[in-house]
């Protein structure tokens, strides 16, 4: 390292008014320490992305920027676009003004002290540094088992994700440039980043409990996130349908032979239960398979429309010659 490089933090925020001051304080202390050590440049910034919050979040971000424009920046999205899109909006906004960028949740569940290690790994030549949680002690049994089940199921379905890594990661400018080439509307960053490649490594951290406020990921959102992850990165479910169809066809041929023999043998009257069961089974299976195919068609529909994944209403930054109003 000849001279310290520019680190941008991208922090998505959706209704985070309870925790934002604390997050800003902790990140500020971390930045000051890193700058004092000469690990990051003075031009480094912390960017809060307001994802269409309905509370005071944007007001707080604006205030932070006004009091310390040389440290805090803010991006205001035109409407709530979801966590993944908010992160991408931040990354794409800063990709040309930073050397490296770390994405982190606003609720302080990701460990601020891991940032040092990530930055050091970057200087060792890693283009991507994945933050991997070492324990899940702070999670409820339910969250822990569903989350771990999710990673295992993703692997089984053929999507390459880093086990127990969410969206706490460092990426170099080069990786951000490559990421901008991924045009998909259905975003699943933790599947996309490993596809980019380059030298990478993992750092381990203990995930804390949310510092304040409540989770914006209820079970419903977690499930749809998991389904999105699988269908965006794997066509295995479609192949499974083909296999299932094949197995069912073999089974029906066998059933046909059995029915034929039964007919010849003259004991056909007690066929009612098997008939009704097969009708229900096949009907259910067909609907289920159609549903899976429908998932993919729905995604293709969203992809061909190529709608913008997020809309930036305002970018508060002193790094720009003038603040951009888009």
Q: Provide the sign of the torsion angle of the four alpha carbons 246, 247, 252, 254, taken in this order.
A: positive
In the list ligand UDP, Mg ion, none, the entry touching 165 (Cβ below 5 to 8 angstroms by class) is none
In terms of CB distance, is 121 or 151 closer to ligand UDP?
A: 151
What is the bridge-based pairing of β-strands 128-133 and 45-50?
A: unpaired
Tokens standing for residue 42? 């003075």
In terms of CB distance, is 4 or 52 closer to Mg ion?
A: 52
Nearest distance from C-beta of residue 105 to ligand UDP, angstroms: 4
Contacts of 182 (CB under 8 A, 6+ apart): 192
Closest by alpha carbon to 82, among 19, 9, 150, 14? 14
Q: Provide the sign of the torsion angle of the four alpha carbons 61, 67, 68, 69, taken in this order.
A: positive
DSSP per position, 241-271: HHHHHHHHHHHHHHHHHHHHHHHHHT--GGG
* Contacting positions for Mg ion (CB under 5 A): 105, 107, 109
Nearest distance from C-beta of residue 97 to Mg ion, angstroms: 27
In the list ligand UDP, Mg ion, none, the entry touching 122 (Cβ below 5 to 8 angstroms by class) is none
In terms of CB distance, is 5 or 107 closer to Mg ion?
A: 107
In terms of CB distance, is 99 or 107 closer to Mg ion?
A: 107
Nearest distance from C-beta of residue 215 to Mg ion, angstroms: 6
Q: Which long-range contacts (CB under 8 A, 24 or more apart) does 239-243 make?
A: 241/289, 241/292, 241/293
Nearest distance from C-beta of residue 147 to ligand UDP, angstroms: 9
Contacts of 191 (CB under 8 A, 6+ apart): 154, 159, 160, 161, 229, 232, 233
Nearest distance from C-beta of residue 216 to ligand UDP, angstroms: 3
In the list ligand UDP, Mg ion, none, the entry touching 256 (Cβ below 5 to 8 angstroms by class) is none
In the list ligand UDP, Mg ion, none, the entry touching 179 (Cβ below 5 to 8 angstroms by class) is none
Tokens standing for residue 319? 């790094």
In the list ligand UDP, Mg ion, none, the entry touching 14 (Cβ below 5 to 8 angstroms by class) is ligand UDP
Nearest distance from C-beta of residue 40 to Mg ion, angstroms: 25
Radius of gyration of the chain (CA): 25
In terms of CB distance, is 95 or 133 closer to Mg ion?
A: 133
Contacts of 108 (CB under 8 A, 6+ apart): 19, 22, 23, 26, 208, 210, 211
End-to-end CA distance of the chain: 36
In terms of CB distance, is 86 or 187 closer to ligand UDP?
A: 86
In terms of CB distance, is 202 or 216 closer to ligand UDP?
A: 216
In the list Mg ion, ligand UDP, none, the entry touching 111 (Cβ below 5 to 8 angstroms by class) is none
* Contacting positions for ligand UDP (CB under 6 A): 12-14, 16, 51, 80, 82-83, 86, 105-107, 109, 215-217
In the list ligand UDP, Mg ion, none, the entry touching 83 (Cβ below 5 to 8 angstroms by class) is ligand UDP
Nearest distance from C-beta of residue 32 to ligand UDP, angstroms: 22
């Amino acid at each position: 390292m000849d001279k310290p490089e520019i680190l941008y933090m991208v922090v998505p925020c959706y209704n985070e008014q309870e925790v934002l001051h604390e997050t800003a304080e902790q990140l500020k202390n971390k930045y000051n320490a890193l700058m004092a050590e000469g690990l990051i440049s003075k031009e480094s910034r912390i960017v809060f992305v307001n994802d269409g919050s309905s509370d005071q979040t944007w007001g707080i971000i604006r205030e932070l920027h006004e009091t310390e424009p040389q440290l805090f920046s803010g991006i205001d999205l035109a409407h709530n676009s979801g966590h993944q899109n908010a992160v991408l909006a931040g990354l794409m906004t800063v990709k040309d003004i930073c050397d490296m960028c770390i994405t982190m949740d606003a609720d302080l569940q990701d460990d601020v002290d891991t940032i040092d290690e990530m930055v050091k790994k970057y200087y060792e030549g890693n283009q991507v540094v994945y933050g991997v949680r070492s324990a899940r002690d702070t999670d409820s049994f339910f969250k822990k088992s569903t989350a771990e089940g999710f990673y295992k199921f993703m692997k089984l379905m053929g999507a390459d994700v880093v086990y127990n890594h969410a969206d706490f990661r460092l990426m170099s400018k080069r990786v951000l440039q490559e990421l901008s080439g991924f045009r998909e509307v259905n975003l699943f960053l933790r599947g996309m980043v490993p596809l980019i490649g380059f030298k990478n490594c993992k750092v381990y951290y203990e995930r804390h409990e949310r510092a304040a406020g409540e989770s914006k990921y209820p079970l419903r959102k977690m499930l749809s996130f998991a389904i999105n992850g699988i269908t965006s990165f794997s066509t295995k479910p479609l192949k499974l349908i083909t296999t299932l169809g094949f197995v069912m066809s073999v089974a029906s041929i066998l059933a046909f032979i059995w029915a034929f023999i039964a007919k010849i043998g003259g004991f056909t009257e007690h066929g009612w239960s098997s008939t009704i069961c097969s009708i229900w089974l096949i009907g259910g299976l067909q609907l289920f398979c159609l549903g899976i195919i429908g998932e993919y068609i729905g995604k293709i529909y969203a992809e061909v429309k190529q709608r913008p994944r997020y809309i930036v209403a305002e970018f508060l930054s002193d790094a720009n010659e003038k603040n951009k109003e888009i």
